Amino acid sequence: MVQLCVNIDHVATLRQARYRDQPAFAEPDPARAFHEAELGGAHGITVHLREDRRHIADRDVDLLRALVRTRLNLEMAATDEMVAVATRVRPHTAMLVPEARREVTTEGGLDVAADGPRLRDVVAQLKDAGCLVSAFIDADGRQVDAAAAAGFDVCEVHTGPYAHAFADHGGDAAHDAVFAQLEKVFGAGGAIQAAGMRFNAGHALNYANVGPIAALDPCELHIGHAIVSRAIYTGLRAAVREMRAAIDAAAPAGCGHSHHGDGGDD
């Protein structure tokens, strides 16, 4: 089964649009939204605690760690401040991502190859705190090799280029440009599992484009914006349930075994 981790950052984005200085007294509250996502079939909850606290706040992370009954994935920059938060909170998974103040959402993967020694130290600290440690990387063999050398347990492949190609070519999954991006994700997934790490995927996935990625048999897909957007019309529980159905319809029976060997072990 390909598992679904629901990113609820955009619930906090809506709250912060009006109540940036009073997250504990405002709505919608991510500390309530997670429950609806779990009832809809989410296997995990993802939040990104950014350095500027533009959406998720520290109190959200603390509450979610106490309340989430599936598992909590904390996206974070590899900074001393965020490592201190993660080692205190001890999320089930700590995922290191690049972070820029001006970006709307994370754009591009972590350059593990350029920062290997420092990231190796960060990974060791997070593992000592009991976290599974993940790297958000581009579909690049060089980054896969560097992530394995740094000691990461998981690599999440950045599916943004695939999603953009899918949209640019009218949702034609057989178009050469779309297929080429899909092949890159496929190749990265195989390399990740061959290196003994778990293969996850995410970024810009939605109800229309998720099928071909699910068919590659990653362990987890991390999806947020599309689900929260649909939830405006259907409710969060139903939106998660519909995404689960789209993934299940396309995915092979096992996690990471049908296409890439025996590396994935969720």
Q: Which positions are annotated as active-site residues?
A: 48, 75, 203
CB 94 within 8 A of CB 133: yes
User: In sequence order, which residues have a C-beta less than 8 Å from that of residue 140 and are 6 or more positions away?
Assistant: 109, 188
CB atoms within 10 A of CB 171: 11
Residues 255, 266 contacting (CB under 8 angstroms): yes
What is the C-alpha separation between 113 and 110, in angstroms, rounded? 9
Q: CA–CA separation, 210 vs 177, rounded Å?
A: 16
* Beta-carbon contacts of residue 251 (< 8 Å; ≥ 6 apart): 1, 2, 214, 215, 217
Residue 199: which of 217, 183, 213, 218 has the closest Cα? 218
User: Does residue 7 contact residue 46 with C-beta atoms inside 8 Å?
Assistant: yes
